[in-house]
Structure 1
Amino acid sequence: MRRRKIIHIDMDAFYASIEQRDHPQYRGKPIAVGGSPDGRGGVVATASYEARKFGVRSAMPSKKAQQLCADLIFVRPRFDVYKEVSRKIREIFQRYTDLIEPLSLDEAYLDVTEDKQNIGSAIEIAKLIRQAIRDELQLTASAGVSVNKFVAKIASDMNKPDGLTFIGPSRIERFMERLPVEKFHGVGKVTAEKMKKMGLHTGADLKKLTVAELIKHFGKTGRFFYKIVRGIDDREVQPNRETKSVGAEDTFPYDLVALEEMHDQIERIATILHERLERYGLKGRTVTLKIKYHDFRIVTRSQSFAQPVGDLETIIATAKQLLEATDPVDSKIRLLGVSLSNFEGLRVRTDDDSDQLRLEL
């Protein structure tokens, strides 16, 4: 079977880099694109690399980001500009292949097994794409090249910013054995902590478990872990993949018992969801609230509207009403999630096996 040639392109600090490109006064300074720390629920969408040195990260509350970096400059996002730049990046990709699977505005998979210009080398194509992005858009991108999506995505993160990493077939299995479990795509903080408590720190540790053992401990994702630690990923690049819902959720370090705390967390999580909806230009008819209690019991509640909604106020108000309908007084809640669905034919793409974009903080 012919090996695929997969490239994962990931723009470097995309929103922040565009702001620094367009506003010289921001260059070389720590900036955060997102909500103001003065309001309630402000969240960092992207931080410049100067800000990341202080520990500022995406999805971090803006108030916390300001505490970490007193000189941090907050910039309101300009999603119309980011979308236009993303469109131009897509045009660069299309010079080489039509098999493009966007994951968001700033990253995508490309299958260049058959490339339009008959270059033949995925590494050379990745170099040409990065150079075109630099020359035409004055931005930098990092690229990972391999024979499947999983390894290409990990490779693109190895030498950021402005890096290019190739992991060939002969290196994959050994590379996966050395990889820390928290670097596995799909492994968030909660799962990583669970793995480490089980003595599973690297891919080599995961490899010692049978597929049945992995499924027992991690559900259906265990089967994916079993294959990927062996370098097996048969997922194709899917140009027209459709997602059914977009959401955000968080597992808390302690159980929430006060209604006011629950409302505060809903506002924060809904703000993250709203920024994602803005990023993709989406509105939907159905708001869903997910609740996980201290005993791991999960309930979901939904409300649908006659017309599509996407504004933050409606999402927050609806999620709070759904929460209060569950009679949360004296409840112990360990996780809350808010999502929007029923997009009426609009499409947004993800890169995992689920139909929902999740955020583990």
Structure 2
Amino acid sequence: MPVARPESSDSRTRIIAHVDLDCFYVQVEQRKQPELRGLPTAVVQYNEWKGGALIAVSYEARKLGVSRHMRGDDAKEVCPQIHLVQVPVARGKADLNIYRNAGSEVVSILARKGRCERASIDEVYLDLTDSAEAMLRETPPESLESINEEARKSHILGLKSEDANDAQENASKWLRRSDANHQDKLLACGALIVAELRMEVLKEAQFTCSAGVAHNKMLAKLVSGMNKPAQQTVVPSSSVKRFLESLPIKKMKQLGGKLGTSLQTDLGVNTVGDLLRFSEEKLQERFGINTGTWLWNIARGINGEEVQGRLLPKSHGAGKSFPGPRALKTIASVQHWLNQLCDELNERICFDLDQNKRIAHTLTVYASAYKSCDSESYKKFPSKSCPLRYGTAKIQEDAFNLFQAGLREYIGSPGVKTLGHHHNGWGITSLSVSASKIVAIPSGTGSITKYFHEQYASPSSKETQDTFVKKDHAIITASESYSELEPTDQLQPDNNVPCVGIPWKEQDSSCSSTVQTKDGSGKGASPPLPSGSGCCSPVNQTASASRGTILKFLKSYNLSCPTPNQQNVEMVKGSQPPSCSSLEENQALLPRRNLAEIRSNDGSYNLDQNAQRAWNYKIDEIDHSIVDELPSEIQDEIRVWLQARQQPGMVKRPSIIKRGSIAHYFSPARNT
């Protein structure tokens, strides 16, 4: 549903650009094979039917009648000389990493001049307001003796010209007008900056791109593709009304579906200008307050959406389609492809972790399906989510369990048997997995507990699956998603998610710790630490006042044992019920606390007790070699604490993860 964002006081003077790479997939392949430049070329998706689907077509091929809606064999019939390049394949599906990496090259160049928001694999928004204002102060366009050719080729909406040479001359005069108002002067500076950035992209990355320059994101996006390839379009405020008057309503973002159809059929609105006939109250009455206000705003070119400073994707995903006779009809085939997708997903989130120090928190499984009986053909396959555990085997296990939970709900019979190889009247036409809620790992010792990633028990049993998993209504693409939210947005705890870890035995009340106040005095005793056997071992608490002790975070535990009803959970074959008496799988519940800690000058931490979160990890799964890579001032403290919790007879797990990577902070996956 569209969101009406009010304009800020300075929104009319913001300079926003939308940069769109031209035939990006083709350009990436042409950079690999320069001999293809200037020749009719198309990139085809990995597919065995009719030569595969075209996902990018060069402008040379378009002139010869090839369109992106064709398949490879159709394109050859229309244009026999066309060069078809297949997308790289990995794990039996398309591998888009080469294109993602090339897109990242371009983003790093564009981000030099302003706030940058990566909208997709080949689209970027830029907020160039600060750079434009600096240029206007230091070297205003009217003071320039000449401007570069790329800037002279700019298309200025509302500026009429007889031919190409005349258009360039008129554009040059418009950009250097001394009598222009402040808005247009800033816009001219923005156009010069974008032209310079586009030349840098061509020089350094060998890619051409087109752009739109306007006072808001909506207008910049609308015009960026008007004069492709390798050109840019500028939208002065004076030309907005005339431009929108004739713009088809379906061309507007978020009006290409049901809402746009409703406007056409119910109100007779065919262009954006037609919306001007209706008052804001009338639109609110018909479509609701939020959507009505949004429609009223876009009809006038108003858009208060800001460019988010985001260079990295909000989520990672991997998916594959199985159309027609290729639909998956057995659990075994679904599990095979889930394993492939999870392998790719794990590779990408581990790369993100290693390169960008970010952790994904939520795993979601999506599917499209059909039933043999079409009585409920309208019913969608429910998406299911659970906390994400790092490691290929763990992700595969959880994804398969999530799928089975979704299948039971889709079929409509909780007791239906989903295991086995038999076809039960359903088929899967698409399958995807995503990792979302990605947050950056805060630096410093104050956030060391975050390295012990939440290791919730996998949703292995039927009851646990149906309780633990939850629907996720976000729409995630099969490759990756770029959301409106910041990648470092802090997560809010989900209090509805049950803790399925193994609790500690009742603690010895003789152990307690004292939190130091700012002046160094004790301020009450915190709840005691849980003990593996008897009282906790003494810990050196003579740490320098210049830093806080890591053990201050370990002060609040849920030590209750599960009730009989909780223990009598239906378990999948091979799983074991939890036991309070067994310490073979100790799991400590770290303090419920806010993700953000505010560290004071004396090293103590002020925690927001109103926003709490449960952290779980298993003592026996901690690789003790990680202590060597922690900050030196807390290594001894952590070793003592871990040793106090180690149970007699507990087998130390060997480290199987490569050292030198932050990924080895996470416990090794169990062999399955």
The alignment's TM-score, normalised by the length of structure 1, stands at 0.71
Q: Is the 8 A contact 1:36 1:42 kept in 2?
A: yes
Q: Counterpart of 1:358? A: none
Q: Is the 8 A contact 2:30 2:37 kept in 1?
A: yes
- Amino acid corresponding to residue 87 of structure 2 in structure 1: R
Cα gap change, 1:342 to 1:101, in 2 (>3 Å): closer
Q: Counterpart of 1:233? A: 303
Q: Is the 8 A contact 1:37 1:66 kept in 2?
A: no
- Amino acid corresponding to residue 161 of structure 1 in structure 2: P
Q: Structure 1: 5+ residue runs without aligned partners?
A: 250-255, 356-361
Does 2:364 align with 1:287? Answer: yes
Q: Is the 8 A contact 2:44 2:72 kept in 1?
A: no
Q: Is the 8 A contact 2:381 2:406 kept in 1?
A: no
CA shift digits 1:279-316 (9 cap, x unpaired): x9458652243779979776733043533669xx9999
Q: Which moved more, 1:153-162 or 1:319-328?
A: 319-328
Q: Distance in 2 between matches of 1:166 and 1:248?
A: 37
- SS of corresponding position for 2:71: helix
CA shift digits 1:220-270 (9 cap, x unpaired): 545433212211111111103887656799xxxxxx9x998697xxx9xx9
Select 2:247's aligned residue among 170, 179, 186.
Answer: 179
Q: Distance in 2 between matches of 1:288 and 1:130?
A: 39
Q: Distance in 1 between matches of 2:247 and 2:401?
A: 42
- SS of corresponding position for 1:162: coil
Q: Distance in 2 between matches of 1:172 and 1:123?
A: 17
Q: Counterpart of 1:10? A: 20
Q: Which moved more, 1:318-327 or 1:128-137?
A: 318-327
> What is the root-mean-square deviation of aligned Cα atoms in Å?
4.8
Q: Distance in 2 between matches of 1:248 and 1:194?
A: 34
Report how far residue 114 of structure 1 moved: 1.0
Report how far residue 212 of structure 1 moved: 5.4
Q: Is the 8 A contact 2:364 2:399 kept in 1?
A: no
Alignment of 1:209-358 (within 5 A): 209-211=278-280, 214=283, 216-217=286-287, 220-240=290-310, 281-282=348-349, 285-289=362-366, 300-304=382-386, 306-307=389-390, 321=404, 324-325=407-408, 326-327=410-411, 340-345=434-439, 350=482
Q: Distance in 1 between matches of 2:367 and 2:292?
A: 23
Select 1:149's aligned residue among 217, 230, 236.
Answer: 217
Q: Is the 8 A contact 1:35 1:42 kept in 2?
A: yes
Cα gap change, 1:67 to 1:219, in 2 (>3 Å): farther
- Amino acid corresponding to residue 107 of structure 2 in structure 1: R
Cα gap change, 1:300 to 1:289, in 2 (>3 Å): same
- Amino acid corresponding to residue 205 of structure 1 in structure 2: D
- SS of corresponding position for 1:307: coil
Q: Is the 8 A contact 2:316 2:436 kept in 1?
A: no
Select 2:228's aligned residue among 160, 184, 187.
Answer: 160
Q: Is the 8 A contact 1:144 1:164 kept in 2?
A: yes
- SS of corresponding position for 2:364: strand
Q: Is the 8 A contact 1:20 1:26 kept in 2?
A: yes
Q: Distance in 2 between matches of 1:213 and 1:41?
A: 51
CA shift digits 1:195-230 (9 cap, x unpaired): 433322110123334445545448954543321221
- Amino acid corresponding to residue 274 of structure 2 in structure 1: D
CA shift digits 1:66-115 (9 cap, x unpaired): 25312461322474443443343233323322x11111232211111111
- Amino acid corresponding to residue 101 of structure 1 in structure 2: E
Select 1:113's aligned residue among 118, 121, 129.
Answer: 129
Select 2:198's aligned residue among 130, 134, 139.
Answer: 130
Report how far residue 182 of structure 1 moved: 1.8
- SS of corresponding position for 2:242: helix
Q: Counterpart of 2:45? A: 35
Cα gap change, 1:303 to 1:239, in 2 (>3 Å): closer
Q: Is the 8 A contact 1:123 1:166 kept in 2?
A: yes
Does 2:119 align with 1:103? Answer: yes
Aligned residues, how many?
Answer: 332
Q: Distance in 2 between matches of 1:219 and 1:290?
A: 33
Q: Distance in 2 between matches of 1:259 and 1:211?
A: 50
Q: Distance in 2 between matches of 1:6 and 1:89?
A: 17
Q: Structure 2: 5+ residue runs without aligned partners?
A: 1-8, 77-81, 89-94, 137-188, 351-359, 370-374, 413-423, 442-479, 488-672
Q: Distance in 2 between matches of 1:339 and 1:220?
A: 32
Q: Distance in 2 between matches of 1:155 and 1:281?
A: 34
Q: Counterpart of 1:359? A: none
Q: Distance in 2 between matches of 1:153 and 1:242?
A: 20
Q: Distance in 1 between matches of 2:59 and 2:398?
A: 32
The alignment's TM-score, normalised by the length of structure 2, stands at 0.41
Q: Distance in 1 between matches of 2:406 and 2:326?
A: 12
Report how far residue 156 of structure 1 moved: 0.6
Q: Counterpart of 2:85? A: 74
Report how far residue 164 of structure 1 moved: 0.7
Structure having greater relative contact order (Cα 8 Å, sep ≥ 6): 1
CA shift digits 1:20-67 (9 cap, x unpaired): 13213433444343533316996544333344454533xx6xxx5225
Does 2:186 align with 1:92? Answer: no
Q: Counterpart of 1:253? A: none
Cα gap change, 1:220 to 1:248, in 2 (>3 Å): farther
Report how far residue 122 of structure 1 moved: 0.2
Q: Distance in 1 between matches of 2:367 and 2:278?
A: 31
Cα gap change, 1:229 to 1:336, in 2 (>3 Å): farther
- SS of corresponding position for 1:119: helix
Q: Counterpart of 2:56? A: 46
- Amino acid corresponding to residue 204 of structure 1 in structure 2: G
Cα gap change, 1:20 to 1:125, in 2 (>3 Å): same
Greater share of strand = 1
Q: Distance in 2 between matches of 1:72 and 1:322?
A: 45
Q: Is the 8 A contact 1:303 1:318 kept in 2?
A: no
Q: Is the 8 A contact 1:146 1:167 kept in 2?
A: yes
- SS of corresponding position for 1:46: strand
Cα gap change, 1:23 to 1:244, in 2 (>3 Å): closer
Q: Is the 8 A contact 2:315 2:438 kept in 1?
A: no
- Amino acid corresponding to residue 239 of structure 1 in structure 2: G
Q: Is the 8 A contact 1:282 1:346 kept in 2?
A: no
Does 2:272 align with 1:203? Answer: yes
- Amino acid corresponding to residue 68 of structure 1 in structure 2: D
Q: Counterpart of 1:22? A: 32
